């Protein structure tokens, strides 16, 4: 926003440092903030919060992540990165790896990939955190060929894009969730991208990650030209500037 010549009013940790702590509803907070700003970028711990905000807001709402739900601006920059690195999206073989149940970026990216022709999607996840049923249903309806596996090596054969994700530990709140999280964490080691894994990939494959990474990509592979995650993060600036410029035109 600043690079576009605009200004930012922000409230970090709004749960503690805004009227939310006094009991104000999200809807009312949005109505108030919309009076101060031309657009609202909302990151919120609850799934569906951005939709609720959009239903009452007179200014555009950008969903910057709603709990385990969606992260659409991340997916736009992911698609931009794939297009820029590989020159196309149609017909690619994309492998999503890791916590596909709770990682919001893979939900949004999978839904967007369903709009392209001939994308083949392989979902490689520990059994406790496989892809959500609603996303699978949408992929099916969009005609995307989907395979699910819990074996990374098998998933990677012939892959064009490897989209690694982190185990979303903050989402395993209750006792059952903690048990599932611990089980997934034990298995996650098998899903790590290491130099040996990179050696098994084709010369033009790329590795993406929405970041932050916490061990699921060995830093030893950062110098490999196929490790595209820091270029991906940089692309986020241009894509989000474009989105804001378009919305505020």
Contact residues toward ligand ASP (CB under 6 A) are 65, 71, 104-105, 166, 210-211
Rounded to the nearest 10 degrees, the angle between the axes of helix 229-248 and helix 72-86 is 120
- Write down the least CB distance from residue 73 to ligand ASP, Å: 10
Q: Which is nearer to ligand ASP, 57 or 105 (CB)?
A: 105
Q: Which is nearer to ligand ASP, 181 or 210 (CB)?
A: 210
- Residues 6 or more apart whose Cβ sits within 8 Å of residue 173: none
**Alpha-carbon torsion (190, 195, 200, 204), positive or negative:** positive
- Write down the least CB distance from residue 168 to ligand ASP, Å: 6
Distances (CA, A) of 60 to 41, 63, 83, 104, 109: 8, 10, 27, 21, 21
Nearest residue relative to ligand ASP (C-beta)? 210
Q: Which is nearer to ligand ASP, 31 or 213 (CB)?
A: 213
Q: Which is nearer to ligand ASP, 34 or 131 (CB)?
A: 131
- Write down the least CB distance from residue 71 to ligand ASP, Å: 5
Q: Which is nearer to ligand ASP, 71 or 240 (CB)?
A: 71
Q: Which is nearer to ligand ASP, 122 or 165 (CB)?
A: 165
Closest listed residue to residue 153, CA positions, set 93, 206, 89, 97: 97
Helix, strand, coil % (nearest 5) of the chain? 45, 15, 40
Beta bridge partners of 63: 42
- Write down the least CB distance from residue 200 to ligand ASP, Å: 24
- Write down the least CB distance from residue 165 to ligand ASP, Å: 6
DSSP secondary structure string, 28-57? HHHHHHHTT-S-EEEEESSTTHHHHHHHH-
- Write down the least CB distance from residue 70 to ligand ASP, Å: 9
Q: How far apart are CA 179 and CA 15, in angstroms?
A: 27
Strands (E), 111-185: 120-124, 145-149, 161-164
- Write down the least CB distance from residue 158 to ligand ASP, Å: 26
Q: Which is nearer to ligand ASP, 27 or 170 (CB)?
A: 170
Closest listed residue to residue 75, CA positions, set 85, 67, 65: 65
């Amino acid at each position: 926003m600043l690079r576009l010549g605009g200004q930012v009013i922000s409230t970090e940790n709004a749960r503690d440092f805004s009227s939310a702590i006094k009991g104000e509803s999200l809807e009312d907070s949005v109505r108030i903030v919309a009076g101060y700003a031309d657009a609202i970028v909302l990151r919120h711990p609850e799934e569906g919060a951005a939709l609720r905000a959009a239903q009452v807001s007179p200014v555009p709402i950008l969903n910057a992540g709603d709990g385990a739900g969606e992260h659409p601006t991340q997916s736009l920059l992911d698609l931009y990165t794939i297009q820029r690195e590989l020159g196309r999206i149609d017909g690619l073989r994309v492998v999503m790896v890791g916590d596909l149940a709770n990682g919001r970026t893979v939900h949004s990216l999978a839904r967007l990939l369903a709009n392209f022709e001939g994308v083949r999607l392989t979902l490689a996840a520990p059994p406790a955190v496989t892809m959500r049923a609603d996303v699978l249903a949408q992929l099916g309806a969009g005609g995307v060929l989907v395979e699910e596996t819990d074996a990374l090596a098998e998933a990677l054969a012939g892959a064009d894009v490897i989209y690694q994700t982190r185990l979303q530990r903050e989402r395993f709140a209750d006792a059952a969730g903690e048990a599932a999280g611990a089980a997934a964490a034990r298995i996650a080691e098998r899903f790590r991208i290491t130099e040996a894994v990179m050696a098994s990939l084709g010369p033009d494959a790329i590795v993406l990650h929405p970041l932050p990474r916490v061990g699921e990509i060995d830093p030893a592979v950062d110098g490999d030209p196929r490790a595209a995650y820091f270029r991906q993060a940089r692309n986020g600036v241009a894509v989000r500037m474009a989105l804001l410029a378009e919305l505020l035109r």
